[in-house]
Structure 1
Amino acid sequence: MNLDKSQKRINKRVKRGFHGYPLITIQYFGNDDGIATKVEVGFIEAENTTPMLEAFESSTDIRQDETVQTTIIKIIDRVDAKTVTLELMPPLK
């Protein structure tokens, strides 16, 4: 799957808002607002459960990494996520 298509699918799921569980959280981290070098994908199966986390890192902007973005889509599809959230976290220290 190409990068543009992956990003569109992720953004479409994020825009839907909360539709229940299972829930996928996507959090991007970086040294500044322009480049995210780390992403954490969390899976929450039900309310009040501990999230399972998967993290990916890159030396370049991970939001532009086709392999990582496609992997995120596969995770969303595999768990049949009802809700997807996306956050850009404050710069890493």
Structure 2
Amino acid sequence: MNLDKAKKRIAKHVKKGFKGYPSISLEYFGSSVECATEVLVTFTLEEGATAQEERFTSQTDARESEVIQSALVKIIERTQAVSVDEVAGVSVK
């Protein structure tokens, strides 16, 4: 899947807002607000359940990595997430 298509599909899910569970939260981290070198994906099956986390790292900006963005789309699809939340911007570590 190409980068633009993956980013649009993720944005479409995020735009829907919270619709219930299962839900996925995406948060980008980096050494500066310009470059996100890590993505934290948090999956919650139901309210009150323990969240599962997975991290993806990149030498370059993870938001511009076709491999990482495509993997995020696949995770959303395979978990059948009803809600997808994305923390705005890049959190500096």
Tell whether 2:89 aligns with 1:85. no
- Deviation above 6 Å: which 4+ runs of structure 1? none
Distance in structure 2 (CA, Å) of the matches to 1:63 and 1:37? 8
Over aligned residues, Cα RMSD in angstroms? Answer: 0.8
Q: How many residues align?
A: 92
Shift, 1:49, TM fit: 1.0
Report which of the two has the higher share of strand.
2
Normalised TM-score (structure 1): 0.95
> Structure 1: any 5+ residue segments left out of the alignment?
none
Q: Are the equivalent residues in 1 in contact too, given 2:29–2:36 (CA < 8 A)?
A: yes
1:57 corresponds to which residue? 57
Tell whether 2:7 aligns with 1:7. yes
Normalised TM-score (structure 2): 0.95
| Identity rate, percent | 45
Q: Which range moves more in the overlay, 83-92 or 73-82?
A: 83-92
> Structure 2: any 5+ residue segments left out of the alignment?
none
Q: AA paired with 2:29?
A: F
1:23 corresponds to which residue? 23
